[in-house]
Amino acid sequence: MVEQRTENPRVGSSILPLATIFFPSGSSLSEGSVVNTDSDSDTQRCLRLASQRLDSRLEAEILLAHTLGRNRSWLYAHSTNRLGTAQMLAFNELVERRLAGEPIAYLVGKREFFGRDFLVSKDVLIPRPETEHLVEKALELPLPARARVVDVGTGSGCIALTLAAERPAWQVIGADLSPPALAVADLNRRLLDLERVELINSDLLAELQDRKFDLIISNPPYVATGDPHLDQGDLRFEPAMALACDGNGLDLIKRLIEQAAKRLASGGWLIIEHGHEQGEPVAKLFQHAGFGQIETATDLAGLPRLTLARIIHELA
């Protein structure tokens, strides 16, 4: 789910707001007008000023490209293009929000995951690179050609929809307790032309009691309630129910493991992302619930970030 990184939340910069910089005294600021009398409004200069304020050229380019509805390479090919007043104000607002710490993904409304763009809003967790590792690992598992799969806590749908796109014959469900998160997953489902993926409002597997699965996959909330990281960086802006849970962050994982043991077909797999200090307790929970072939995998930094295991003989 989350590596608790702090993304550049520089608040309270002493530099003048962009609108003031872009519109030196005497320039017209009338709504909708195009400033075309000085070079202050050209793309290159706007980018330079915003880069200084954000201390990041890349972020300035992403925000300006988004404002203009273009991609970043367009900015290079059109560096002398003039920006209209409305465009400058819109760009300035994004820069201000970024300076207040808001994640880039929420500002531009999307994040790339496994080579595809996913829409995101403040109702869903921003997909993380470590979760791509979870997906990679799931794709390597020995599963039936028409595997029955459920992604528990689907959020933006990034895991469920990626699996469905990578394995068109799999029957994939995305489940989440949050209706607003499911609405975002639905938009992504339509954008990716993956309407065959089912989306279900459910507390873990509660609404799926009559189904059996070959693979249950989840990136659940696993930060301990009250953890100080929740007040830092991107996490301040993300939904609390996507991030934190009780029992030192393990309550939902424990409930999911117990429920999954009963919902998996013989030979079925459960694979869960967790915090880097939760490898041992999670493996014990798997063991206690009757799972075999338990494996904890490390990320690129060598930290244990996901555990998978198998139900050898169907339990119920």
**Residues at the interface with ligand SAM (CB under 6 A):** 1, 124-125, 127, 131, 152-156, 158-159, 175-178, 181, 203-204, 219-221, 241-242, 252
**How many other C-beta atoms lie within 10 A of the C-beta of residue 210?**
6
Q: Closest CB to ligand SAM among 91 and 118?
A: 118
- How far apart are the C-alpha atoms of 156 and 185, rounded to whole Å? 4
Q: How far is Cα of residue 27 from the mean position of the Cα atoms in its chain?
A: 41
Cβ closer to ligand SAM: 92 or 154?
154
Q: Which is nearer to ligand SAM, 227 or 314 (CB)?
A: 227
Residue 152 vs 289, nearer CB to ligand SAM: 152
Give the residue among 106, 162, 108, 170 at the shortest CA–CA distance from 133: 162
Crossing angle of helices 158-166 and 179-191, in 10° steps, is 30
Nearer to ligand SAM, 89 or 200 (CB): 200
Amino acid at residue number 131: T
Q: How far is the CB of 56 from ligand SAM (least distance, A)?
A: 24
**Chain CA centroid to CA 249, Å:** 19
The token pair that represents 38 in the structure block: 């000085």
Angle, alpha carbons 6-283-136 (nearest 5°): 60
Beta strands in the chain (DSSP E): 110-113, 116-119, 148-152, 171-176, 198-201, 213-218, 223-224, 244-245, 264-273, 292-298, 304-310
Q: How far is the CB of 105 from ligand SAM (least distance, A)?
A: 11
Q: How far is the CB of 38 from ligand SAM (least distance, A)?
A: 45
Closest approach of ligand SAM to the CB of residue 230, in Å? 13
Q: Smallest distance from the beta carbon of 205 to ligand SAM, in angstroms?
A: 8
Q: Closest approach of Cβ 31 to ligand SAM, in Å?
A: 38
Q: Which is nearer to ligand SAM, 90 or 165 (CB)?
A: 165
Cβ atoms within 10 Å of 28's Cβ, excluding its own = 11
Residue with Cβ nearer ligand SAM (60 or 159): 159
User: Any idea what the Cα angle at residue 312 is, between residues 307 and 316, rounded to 5°?
Assistant: 105
Cβ distance 152 to 177 under 8 Å? no
**Closest C-alpha to 162, from 184, 192, 126:** 192
State in angstroms the smallest separation of the CB of 61 from ligand SAM.
25
Q: Which single residue is written with the structure tokens 């075999």?
A: 292
CB of 218 to ligand SAM, least distance (A): 7
129/292 with CB nearer ligand SAM: 129
